Structure 1
């Protein structure tokens, strides 16, 4: 599994001074997406809607609104 490209603006483009420890989104070779964000599993797990669940190996990761909105233009429609 390899990263093909970044989706959206880089952390530096979004104003990160050092460009480190910032949320990011990447498209993978198989068409999946990888997200770097803050692990908020413990905080949000009990708030999931009744029709949502996660496996033990899955985490709830939070990214900033700006990260997702700036990625929107790079996300394919299909």
Structure 2
């Protein structure tokens, strides 16, 4: 599996010159997406709605609103 492309603006385009705040979204060659975000599993695990669950190998990450909004036009409809 490989990263095919970035979804949305790069961290630099969003104003991160220091490299300290670099949430990012990538489309993978199998059609899935990889996300770089702030790890927040411990904080949000018990707050998930009753119809949501997380496997032991999954983590909850926070992606900034700007990152996701600027990725909107690049996310395929299907």
Equivalent position of 1:16 in the other structure: 16
Q: Distance in 1 between matches of 2:3 and 2:40?
A: 24
SS at match of 1:34: strand
Q: Does the residue aligned with 1:69 lie in a helix, a strand or coil? A: helix
Decide whether the 8 Å contact of 1:11 with 1:20 is kept in 2.
Answer: no
- Root-mean-square deviation (Å): 0.9
Name structure 2 gaps, 5 residues minimum: none
State the TM-score, normalizing by the size of structure 2: 0.96
Partner of 1:55: 55
1:75 is matched with which residue? 75
* Residues paired across the two proteins, number: 78
The whole-number CA distance in structure 2 between the counterparts of 1:46 and 1:65 is 22
Give the Å deviation of 1:17.
1.2
Contact kept, 8 Å, 1:8 with 1:73, in 2: the verdict is: yes
Normalising by structure 1, what TM-score?
Answer: 0.96
Contact 1:38 1:62 survives alignment (8 Å): yes
Structure 2 distance, partners of 1:21, 1:72, is: 20
Separation of aligned partners in 1, 2:21 and 2:68: 16
